[in-house]
Structure 1
Amino acid sequence: MRRRFCFAICIAAMLPVPAVANNHLSVGTEGQPPSGAPGFVVLRQPQADHAVTVFVRPIAGQGGDPANHEWERTQPAGNAYTAQRSIRWSATASCAEGINWIRISGPGGTQTQTFNGSRNAISGSVVYDSFDPDALDQVCLNWGERMNTPCANGNQNRCPSSEEFDETRRAIVRGSAPITVSGQCTNGAMATRTYRPRLALTCRREN
């Protein structure tokens, strides 16, 4: 899936960077880069780990051994889930000879904005869906299904109502594609950069 950025351009010294909806990038102009400087584009995640909470429960109506019951996600859903997965990244790009285009790819699809050399340097923010929902679901569904036996046996010491998984320590979201950002100056390509966003994922059992 390929989508196009919607840019809102403002003079950074005069106007604040406006709030943006998902899949929109807001940028402000920056000073002219030095002649001959290599072009670049970078993203920066806010310092705090991004937080997502997923509620799961056993699928209703299952018979047989409770230890074999399958689970489902109940919350969040739809646009609320997309909003939870979205990070407001800081974005900066510079080309002494002019920026041709910038592109972000990852779980939120591919988004490209073309400048055709009209800007030499930009900075601002982009709200981007940064995690694959199936990968997040799988972490919490696996966690829930591990709770089948202790919860069915009434072992409250081993039947927690929630658990937090920290991406920075556990590399939990293995099925979620990394985020890449790339670009093209009018006189050549920018280096492609790859990011694996930090995440604190809470799986919560819904009774």
Structure 2
Amino acid sequence: MAKVLVAEDDPLTLAGIEVLLASSNFQVAATARTGVEALDKLATARPDLLVLDVEMPERSGLDVLRTLRSRGDQRAIVLLTGSIKDARMQEAMQLGVNGLVIKGNAPRDLLLCLEAVAQGRRWFDQDTLQRAMELAQSPADRRDPLAALSDRERAITALVQRGLRNKEIAAELGLTEGTVKVHLHKIFHKLDVRSRTELILLAKGDVQ
């Protein structure tokens, strides 16, 4: 029986997921209300799969996905969302998210998604998948401005966007402060930016 960590800040949605999984081949190993709590519970819960709400306090589901991939953690991750913006969807795909379920369809789709993911396949809401395919064929000027970055460099960039300094980024990702400085130098070089401010603007799409 696969163990699942479910991170969802809405109590009713969380309770519904627990009821849904209670009669399935999946065991809820732990629950969390924030992204930070989800990361904190990984070591003790040791889940095989994670179901993460995209919008959560402190750290979003996408933040958790980004952090785990930057650490080399390739556990299966399913995002749960009411809706998702194109840029976030693209980043989730690039980070190797294993599934995405729309909350309104969760009673019908969540188990289907988890079963597919547990078998090593990827599963996405059909409308979302169609949008992803359309975006993949979009002109070059719509492409991800951070496409040249590695998963770890993306994670560092995201933490810079949140206003964290090098020491705080190092603590968040389990790195030394010196290693963070090296990564930032590489990021600046790859993206042709000269400061943290320019990096933040580029990541937001405000710099061409």
Scaled by the length of structure 1, the TM-score of the pair is 0.23
Structure with more relative contact order (C-alpha pairs < 8 Å, separation 6 or more): 1
Scaled by the length of structure 2, the TM-score of the pair is 0.23
